[in-house]
Amino acid sequence: MYILDKNFKEIFLSQIVSIIGGLITGTILVAYTEKLFLIPGLLILLPGFLEMRGNISGSFTSRLSSGLFLGVIKPNKIKTKIINGNLMASFFLAIIISLTLGILAFLFNYLILKVVYVKIIFVPLIAGVIANTIEIPLALATTFYLFKRGHDPNNIMGPFITSTGDVTSIIALLVAITII
């Protein structure tokens, strides 16, 4: 059975892109360990916060791509009801899920680690607003750009969202911690 075919190469290349994004995030995490780990419960919300970007922006770009391919969304018209609706929904979901992650981290801190730290609720909320203000318009612009250039956004946006989303998220978390 020959396994080193086109499929193998595509999976391998997309993983290399994903790894680079992850390594940048991990390096920032290590560089600011003292600052980040001072917050009790930050590691509880970290995986969910990093994953949220893919779950929300990933679905957002997937819906946009489907619309573009089906001709329901026009590549030259951004201000339409369907795109505005998608943007609103993605922002709303990001805020709600950020708040949920904060509440869960607070509850786990309180119930399991016996630490009361209310500020942990606001860390992902502020970071979520910052990260999504950058990530969602970036995802929209990149999807349209790729489509106009004749590429299939579905093949590229997955690793792109994972990589840029991780970096944006970790920087947003640092900014939020500094603000709080």
Partner 1 sequence: MKNVKKYLGKLRIVKKKHYHPLIHKIHREHKISKKTLFYIKEYGPNANVPKRIIKESIKILFFASIISSVGGLALEHLKTTLVSLMPLLVLIPVLNDMIGDYGTIISSKFSTLLHTKRDNRWWIDKELKKLFLQIMVVSIFTTIFSTTLALVITSFMSEAPKMLVYKLFFITIIDVIILVSILFLIAIVSGIYIYRRNEDPSNFLIPITTSVADFANMIILSALVVMFL
Residues 114-153 that bind partner 1 (CB under 8 A): none
Report how far residue 56's alpha carbon sits from residue 43's, in angstroms, rounded to the nearest whole number: 21
52 or 139: CB nearest partner 1: 52
Q: Which of 65, 101, 139, 157 binds partner 1 (CB under 8 A)?
A: 101
18 contacts 162 by C-beta, under 8 angstroms? yes
Query: What separation in angstroms does the CA of 167 have from each of 78, 160, 180?
Result: 26, 11, 20
41 or 130: CB nearest partner 1: 41
CB of 34 to partner 1, least distance (A): 9
102 or 126: CB nearest partner 1: 102
Residues 149-168 that bind partner 1 (CB under 8 A): 158-159, 162-163, 166
User: Which DSSP letter does residue 120 get?
Assistant: G
- Which strand (E) or helix (H) includes residue 72? none
93 or 156: CB nearest partner 1: 93
136 contacts 90 by C-beta, under 8 angstroms? yes
Burial label, 14 (beta-carbon count in 10 A; 0-12, 13-18, 19+): middle
Compute how many other C-beta atoms are within 10 angstroms of the C-beta atom of residue 1: 2
Query: What separation in angstroms does the CA of 29 have from each of 22, 117, 119, 171?
Result: 10, 21, 20, 9
Residues 39-98 that bind partner 1 (CB under 8 A): 41, 43-48, 50-52, 54-56, 59, 63, 66-67, 70-72, 81-82, 84-86, 88-90, 92-93, 96-97
Which residues form the interface with partner 1 (CB under 8 A)? 1, 3, 7-8, 11-12, 14-16, 18-19, 21-23, 25-27, 29-30, 33, 37, 41, 43-48, 50-52, 54-56, 59, 63, 66-67, 70-72, 81-82, 84-86, 88-90, 92-93, 96-97, 100-101, 104-105, 108, 112-113, 158-159, 162-163, 166, 170
